[in-house]
Amino acid sequence: MSQADSFIDEVNEAVRRDKLFLMLKKYGWIAILIVVLIVGGAAWNEYRKASARAEAEALGDNVLAAMDSEAPAARASALETVAADGDAEAVVALLQAAGELGAENPKAAADLLRPLATDTSVPQVYSDLAAFKMVLLGEAAFGAQEREQVLNRLAQPGAPYRNLALEQRALDLAAAGQTEDAVAAAQSLLEEPGLTQDLLQRIAQLIVALGGDPDTGNG
């Protein structure tokens, strides 16, 4: 290679370095910003996870402390001071209602359950559980017409407590003296999927008590 060619190569290399430097000077901040955003985003996600975990642990500690009281009324009162939102608020409300019921105060339990039972912003499993607990409270929760409406809602196909609602419907028919309808409802319930062993046993006993044959419901 001649000295002229070598000189030209050196000049070209210098020009490339200068161009690269100028590009880094002009656009390098973009690359730095991207790195900062990636690192900062990861750090923020970790911070949020840690904060959520700390909040959940604090809520759990507060709930356990409130549940430490032996007297149901004291537990319900202590749970009133537990601050929660979202799904956690629904769980705390259910625990409060259980405390009031344990203190033999079904009206107060129903008052706690009613807002949750009609709250469409919480998962259905919580609102339906509150509604079903109100069904179990009987007249302390609502009258016969509203009870029937709630049972119809809970007995919808795919609803989480459908089978239990169907059981209550059969019991209501039996209590009203509609024996044949009660037996038919109970036998129909035996055909439902997902029945627990306890529920199967209760339904079979109900059918027998009403003078029916539980085997008829199984085909």
Contacts within 8 Å (CB) and 24+ apart, 163-172: 163/189, 163/192, 163/194, 163/195, 163/199, 164/132, 164/199, 165/132, 165/135, 166/192, 167/199, 167/202, 167/203, 168/135, 168/136, 170/203, 170/206, 171/206, 172/147, 172/148
Please report the pLDDT score of residue 24 as a whole number: 57
User: For 32-82, what is each residue's pLDDT tens digit?
Assistant: 666 666 777 777 677 567 665 766 666 666 666 656 666 766 766 766 666
At residue 88 the predicted structure's pLDDT band, cuts being 50, 70 and 90, is confident
At residue 178 the predicted structure's pLDDT band, cuts being 50, 70 and 90, is very high
Provide CB contacts within 8 A for 170, sequence distance 6+.
182, 185, 186, 189, 203, 206
At residue 219 the predicted structure's pLDDT band, cuts being 50, 70 and 90, is very low
User: What predicted TM-score, i.e. pTM, was given to this entire model?
Assistant: 0.66
Average pLDDT over residues 172-181: 94
Task: Kindly list the domain boundaries of the chain, sorted by start residue.
Answer: 1-66, 106-218
